[in-house]
Structure 1
């Protein structure tokens, strides 16, 4: 079966009534955890983006506290897992301010917990790629917001 294009799906959705659409969304949510998480974000979290950011920051804090700093191998695996989840949450939001704030929080959290990113190339490269994402998101923000985040961005860059 070939998937329909987004244009075709959009046309069909416009023609449906709200009961049919609700039934389809519920059915879609049953198939994958990611679909359910995205629907949860759109319905409950999107209206209050700041509360969503705080919720994700709590997750990052808890996850970074559990990173095994005694073994480079396990630290690397833990950091990858955190970043995979964090990037998924950032995709749900789609806002550059949210992306910047969460990635900055992650990088500053790594610094605060003294996770040795200089012990090998993999963790250092992961950290560097997050700094590149931060710079890209920073460049797309409004000038007023850029001044608010400038100091934190520089602090994240200086750790390398």
Structure 2
């Protein structure tokens, strides 16, 4: 026996006909099963009204995590991946490309400040390169007016990276 999985349209129609008390009971039951569901529900209820403040709070949390970055390359790469998972989770909550770009640019700035720039450990380098590609692709997907708001920040990040990272060829990552 298997449970039938319904599509979002069917669930949406059913929720529209449900009384508020029963809907609240369903939400609480859903939140009980997974930590990420609770975090998303808490974000939507308490933080979603002020996205800028939430992004600032996430940036400070990321900054703190970068300040605790281990000096050994292997463990630093693991810590950077953990930071990127956290960023991905919060971006999923916010559901905004501009917030994602803002957080990834902040990640790049922190990387340049805290990560070992002279390392030959390839995973550390690849992490930074992949984020540059992700930022560039997301900026290119934005509307032209909004794109010009983020282009100077990205160009500044590339300029700083060119000064601090001898192994990076910024021509490959320009807009």
Relative to the length of structure 1, the TM-score reads 0.91
Alignment match, 1:57: 59
Taking the aligned partners of 1:91 and 1:122, their CA distance within structure 2 comes to 25
Q: Does 1:77 align with 2:78?
A: yes
CA contact 1:13–1:21 (8 Å) conserved in 2:
yes
Alignment match, 1:133: 134
Relative to the length of structure 2, the TM-score reads 0.84
Alignment match, 2:165: none
Bigger Cα Rg: 2
Deviation at 1:111, TM superposition (A): 0.7
CA contact 2:69–2:114 (8 Å) conserved in 1:
no
Distance 1:16 1:78, change over 3 A: same
CA contact 1:53–1:102 (8 Å) conserved in 2:
yes
Q: Secondary structure at the match of 1:3?
A: coil
CA contact 1:60–1:106 (8 Å) conserved in 2:
yes
CA contact 1:68–1:74 (8 Å) conserved in 2:
yes
Alignment match, 2:36: 34
Q: Mark the runs of 5 or more structure 1 residues left unpaired by the alignment.
A: none
Taking the aligned partners of 1:125 and 1:114, their CA distance within structure 2 comes to 13
Alignment match, 2:89: 88
Q: How does 1:119-130 map to 2 (within 5 A)?
A: 119-130=120-131
RMSD: 1.6
Distance 1:117 1:130, change over 3 A: farther
Alignment match, 2:5: 3
Q: Mark the runs of 5 or more structure 2 residues left unpaired by the alignment.
A: 162-167, 169-175
Residues 113-122 or 77-86, more deviating: 113-122
Query: Which 4+ residue blocks in structure 1 deviate beyond 6 angstroms?
Result: none
